[in-house]
């Protein structure tokens, strides 16, 4: 399966490739179930049958090749099985369930994870965007093996990129350079990173790539002579010192030379350290012994010594680096490390499985906990080491507190976990949020409280006539910035509504303190409070309470304290008033008179309450129902509840005749529902009319009920049915309103 074989362009034989892979697993991976891996191969072969790669080979050859790379990386059995199956969900009829049935949930989950990454749309963006995209991929992966298999998949696709169109070569290479090589680097997978970079460079700058490879080829005899003489020298000295060391030497990879030439504006002859030497030993003390010996043999270049053993790199890389000047006056770099460090440097995060395998056989499969301990260590060390680092804020459950989604244009938007389309809209722009009328995720309409998932493509529908954010959005939005923007909107756009709402809220709050608005609106009480809170008038105070700029409890407490201290006798006045009211009621009960304006036939001195379902007001035809222990509950005769229950046998004898007293001075709270075509300013119009009618509004809320309609519910106090009727008629005349009904009917 070498490159030259592929280039011959004769279709590859998948069975032969698989046999080779099987042999490799048999010799290098102990304790793996070859029957299970073979079954995965058969499933993939069957599923992809009839599909061809661009080189004319059966598609499954790609799956075998990707699996082969995961074996080289040293991954576990589930990874190899998953690599064989990595494209079946995307490209064939097989599903997660099919895979889970035969190979278990973990494998099915990994394959599905790879599929999700494959579906992510990529467009080249500025750096910050790339960073988010890389994070998104990591976050989507959940299981690190998903990323590792994706890297293996990409590596093979890059190796066989020669068969693709020029356009595809360019975009895939760019994506590899910007996404997958950096991810491989962050995971410490040097080998994969180098190969991905060199393959990409080949398509991104063919001329530059060829220049370097050609001149390297020309220099090769010279370089090889230099390398072998140095290696011999070092080896001899190590033996003399009694240090057990293995020495490697290599020409640096093309892209690192390319970058150096570009950065230092040099041609290749200006770059001295084209080769790197590695001395690998058994123990950490030996590393430092070797360093001493090297510095004794050659003159060190000042400022080039780096100790990544005592301070590992964010990706767990450990080695001692030094640059020295050889006998021919040529500088070269020496990296000194232990074998453990070497495995980590080559395979990064994947080295974990490799270790396991070296330690012997079956431990590979049982080591779940350990596996994550390793990942956690890697990630934790990265977190501490560099604030700018890719893995900053990364935890074991990878970016648990963030979610990454796409705009329709392909921008990656980073939001707090649990974020909704509302957060998304406001993160684009306040105007988008304020004019939002709907949201689509992955092409489907969703509700505003839909919780966004990594990789979702989110589209916001806006309309110039949107009614603006609903107050409910404040509890749906997850991000502080969205909430702030919603509050700002309310502050600016809805002053009148805020004033009404704030006034109500304050009234309610004061009631808990046994006060009314009138008690505190005296100038000497309210003025100091306004001054202290920097409001110029009471309306401003109401408005601030209404949009949430100041909490109502805080205002009420201050007003109460002010009222008590400013007018000590005020309290007694109020007490007197309420005591008087209480007495009146008690007397009325004793005398069989109206309580709350209601006369109950045949019953004196009974408790009366108004049903919530239909909230009757004077003038309505009413009826009483004797409740268990709570007196008589008053319903309208046209109330649905009454209509339903009147003939039920268990309620026989519990309905009583009641009537309104002749003289009524109280107000009664009732509720009406206004259906209207949703439009901007609707709620404001309703509020304005109510205000003009001097209606005592207790509560007003409006919500979207679909089909372009909004339902506004108003609780208000009225004296009688006539007043209510009048208000309802006026509501019905507001443009767009289609019906106004009382509750219970």
The residues that touch Mn ion, with contacts defined as CB under 5 A, are 87, 153
Q: 69 Cβ partners below 8 Å, 6+ apart?
A: 83, 152, 155, 156
Nearest to Mn ion of 65, 482 (CB atom): 65
The token pair at 313 is: 């790199």
The token pair at 267 is: 């041609």
Nearest to Mn ion of 153, 402 (CB atom): 153
Of 132, 156, 630, 216, the C-alpha closest to 390 is: 132
Least distance in angstroms from the C-beta of 156 to Mn ion: 7
Least distance in angstroms from the C-beta of 160 to Mn ion: 11
Nearest to Mn ion of 65, 291 (CB atom): 65
Per DSSP, helices labelled H in 33-95 are 34-47, 60-73, 77-84, 88-91
Q: Which residue is nearest to Mn ion (CB)?
A: 153
Nearest to Mn ion of 32, 65 (CB atom): 65
Of all helices (H) and strands (E), which one includes residue 275? Answer: strand 275-281
Nearest to Mn ion of 152, 357 (CB atom): 152
The token pair at 700 is: 């007003």
CA distance 91 to 388: 38
Least distance in angstroms from the C-beta of 216 to Mn ion: 31
Nearest to Mn ion of 151, 632 (CB atom): 151
Burial class from Cβ neighbours inside 10 Å (0-12, 13-18, 19+) for residue 436 reads buried
Least distance in angstroms from the C-beta of 353 to Mn ion: 21
Least distance in angstroms from the C-beta of 74 to Mn ion: 20
Least distance in angstroms from the C-beta of 52 to Mn ion: 14
What Rg do the C-alpha atoms of the chain give, in angstroms? 39
Nearest to Mn ion of 46, 537 (CB atom): 46
Least distance in angstroms from the C-beta of 453 to Mn ion: 23
Nearest to Mn ion of 87, 497 (CB atom): 87
DSSP class of 301 = P
CA distance 189 to 166: 28
Nearest to Mn ion of 132, 157 (CB atom): 157
CA distance 209 to 193: 17
Greatest Cα-to-Cα distance within the chain, rounded to the nearest angstrom: 121
Least distance in angstroms from the C-beta of 103 to Mn ion: 18
The C-alpha torsion from 182 through 183 and 186 to 190, rounded to 10°, is -70
Of 699, 671, 662, the C-alpha closest to 615 is: 671
**Cα–Cα separations (whole angstroms), residue 270 to 6, 205, 208, 274, 330:** 36, 20, 16, 10, 11
Q: What is the 3-state secondary structure (H, E, C) of 98-158?
A: HHHHHHCHHHHHHHHHHHHHHHCCCCCCCHHHHHHHHHHHHHHHCCHHHHHHHHHHHHHHH
Of all helices (H) and strands (E), which one includes residue 297? Answer: helix 284-297
Go through 213-252 and write b for each residue having 16 or more CB atoms within 10 A of its CB, e for each that does not. Answer: eeebeeeeeebeebbeebeeebeebbeeeebebebebeeb
First to last CA, the chain: 79
Least distance in angstroms from the C-beta of 686 to Mn ion: 59
Nearest to Mn ion of 137, 230 (CB atom): 137
Active site residues: 90-91
Least distance in angstroms from the C-beta of 117 to Mn ion: 10
Of all helices (H) and strands (E), which one includes residue 278? Answer: strand 275-281
Of 475, 479, 340, the C-alpha closest to 415 is: 479
739 forms beta bridges with 675
**Cα–Cα separations (whole angstroms), residue 197 to 176, 259, 267, 335, 383:** 8, 11, 20, 21, 25
CA distance 610 to 607: 10
């Amino acid at each position: 399966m070498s490159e030259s074989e592929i280039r011959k362009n004769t279709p590859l034989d998948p069975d032969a490739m698989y046999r080779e892979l099987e042999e490799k697993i048999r010799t290098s991976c102990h304790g793996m179930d070859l029957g299970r891996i073979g079954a995965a191969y058969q499933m993939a072969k069957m599923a992809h049958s009839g599909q061809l790669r661009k080189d004319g080979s059966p598609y499954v050859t790609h799956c075998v090749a990707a699996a082969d790379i995961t074996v080289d990386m040293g991954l576990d059995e589930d990874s190899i099985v998953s690599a064989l199956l990595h494209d079946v969900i995307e490209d064939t009829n097989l599903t997660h369930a099919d895979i889970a049935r035969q190979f278990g949930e973990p494998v099915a989950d990994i394959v599905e994870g790879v599929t999700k990454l494959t579906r992510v749309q990529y467009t080249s963006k500025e750096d910050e965007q790339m960073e988010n995209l890389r994070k998104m991929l990591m976050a989507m992966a959940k299981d690190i093996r998903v990323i590792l298999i994706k890297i293996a998949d990409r590596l093979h696709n890059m190796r066989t990129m020669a068969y693709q169109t020029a356009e595809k070569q360019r975009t895939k290479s760019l994506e590899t350079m910007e996404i997958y090589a950096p991810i491989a680097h962050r995971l410490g997978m040097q080998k994969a990173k180098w190969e991905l970079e060199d393959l990409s460079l080949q398509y991104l700058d063919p001329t530059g790539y060829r220049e370097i490879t050609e001149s390297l080829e020309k220099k090769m005899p010279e370089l090889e002579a230099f390398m072998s003489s140095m290696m011999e020298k070092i080896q001899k000295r190590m033996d003399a010192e009694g240090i057990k060391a293995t020495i490697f030497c290599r020409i640096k990879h093309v892209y690192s030379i390319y970058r150096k030439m570009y950065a230092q504006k040099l041609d290749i002859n200006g770059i001295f350290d084209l080769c790197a030497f590695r001395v690998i030993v058994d123990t950490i003390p030996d590393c430092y012994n070797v360093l001493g010996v090297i510095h004794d043999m050659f003159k060190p270049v000042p400022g080039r010594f780096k100790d990544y053993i005592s301070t590992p790199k964010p990706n767990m890389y450990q080695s001692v680096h030094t640059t020295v000047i050889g006998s021919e006056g040529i500088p070269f770099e020496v990296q000194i490390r232990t074998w453990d460090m070497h495995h980590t440097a080559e395979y990064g995060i994947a080295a974990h499985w490799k270790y396991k395998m070296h330690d012997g056989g079956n431990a590979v499969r049982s080591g779940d906990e350990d596996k994550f301990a390793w990942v956690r260590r890697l990630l934790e060390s990265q977190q501490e080491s560099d604030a700018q680092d890719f893995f900053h804020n990364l935890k074991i459950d990878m970016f648990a507190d963030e979610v990454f989604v796409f705009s329709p244009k392909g921008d990656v938007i980073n939001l707090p976990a649990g974020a909704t389309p509302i957060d998304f809209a406001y993160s684009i722009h306040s105007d988008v949020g304020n004019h939002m009328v709907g949201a689509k995720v992955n092409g489907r309409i969703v509700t505003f409280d839909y919780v966004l998932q990594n990789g979702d493509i989110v589209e916001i529908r806006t309309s110039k006539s949107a009614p603006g954010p609903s107050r409910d959005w404040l509890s749906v939005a997850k991000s502080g910035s969205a909430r702030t923007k919603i509050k700002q909107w309310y502050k600016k756009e809805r002053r009148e509504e805020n004033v009404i709402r704030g006034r109500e809220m304050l009234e309610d709050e004061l009631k808990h303190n046994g006060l009314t608005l009138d008690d505190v609106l005296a100038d000497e009480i309210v003025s100091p409070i306004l001054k202290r809170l920097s409001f110029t008038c009471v309306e401003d105070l109401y408005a601030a309470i209404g949009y949430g700029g100041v909490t109502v409890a805080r205002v009420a407490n201050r007003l109460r304290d002010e009222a008590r201290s400013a007018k000590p006798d005020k309290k007694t006045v109020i007490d007197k008033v309420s005591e008087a009211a209480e007495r009146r009621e008690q007397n009325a009960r004793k005398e069989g008179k109206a309580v709350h304006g209601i006369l109950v036939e045949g019953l004196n001195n009974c408790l009366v309450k108004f049903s919530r379902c239909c909230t009757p007001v004077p003038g309505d035809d009413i009826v009483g129902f004797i409740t268990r222990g709570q007196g008589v509950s008053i319903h309208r005769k046209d109330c649905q509840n009454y209509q339903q229950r009147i003939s039920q046998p268990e309620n026989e004898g519990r309905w009583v005749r009641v009537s309104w007293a002749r003289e009524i001075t109280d107000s009664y709270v009732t509720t009406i529902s206004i259906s209207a075509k949703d439009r901007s300013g609707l709620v404001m119009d309703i509020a304005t009319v109510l205000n003009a009618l001097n209606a005592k509004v207790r509560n007003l809320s409006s919500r979207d009920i679909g089909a372009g309609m909004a339902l506004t519910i108003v609780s208000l106090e009225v004296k009688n049915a006539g007043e209510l009727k009048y208000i309802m008629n006026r509501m019905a005349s507001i443009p767009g309103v289609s019906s106004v009904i009382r509750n219970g009917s």
